[in-house]
Structure 1
Amino acid sequence: MSDKFDGYGYFRRVKEHESRFFFFTKAKAEWEVMIEPGKIERVVGMKELWTKLDASGRDFQECEMTASRMFRTGRFDQWVQWPYGGTITTEELPSGD
């Protein structure tokens, strides 16, 4: 069973890169995304994440803020469900079996 989730997906923030240029700081996040059962991909940057999830708008902003908050608080086993914004653990992800 490797069908797509029909507009659904799961993602989480896994790393943050920070670059500095004099006094300016720019952060670029790294994400793990699953849009097919059992297939996890790593993407870098918000634009690539939007493209992978086919997402945009305020709903995505809320989901991204949830994922970032979980990353900052150390809840690395939590995934955000797109487009609903609910969270699940790694063990609860669909396996594709």
Structure 2
Amino acid sequence: MDDLISRKALLKRLHDVGGCGAPPESWADGYDKAIDLAYGMAENAPTIDPVHASGACYCRECKYQDECICRIEFIGRNPILEQNTYEYHPLHFCSNGQRREDTK
């Protein structure tokens, strides 16, 4: 399972370790290059979606979306249809849902 970490905190720690200012081509220059490389890798590392990492899914991906009323927002009363109007918020999610097969 992926771990959620703070990229900002990791970059700060790498920055605090810092290089030693070794002259180019010296034996200690490898340390400076390794810190720079690690900093660049952490800066460009891919991110993960915390909702999916926790095993949940967004309402828009859920196969129970049309049956579930606990995850919809009340928009207002439709006077023409004489009924309430509801809509899914695109970022709502829960851990009870299951992703539809076509969204994987």
Same fold (TM over 0.5): no
TM-score using structure 2 length: 0.24
Taking structure 1 as the reference length, the TM-score comes to: 0.25
Q: Which has the higher contact order (CA 8 A, sep 6+)?
A: 1
Report which of the two has the higher share of helix.
Answer: 2
Greater per-residue strand proportion: 1
Larger Rg: 2
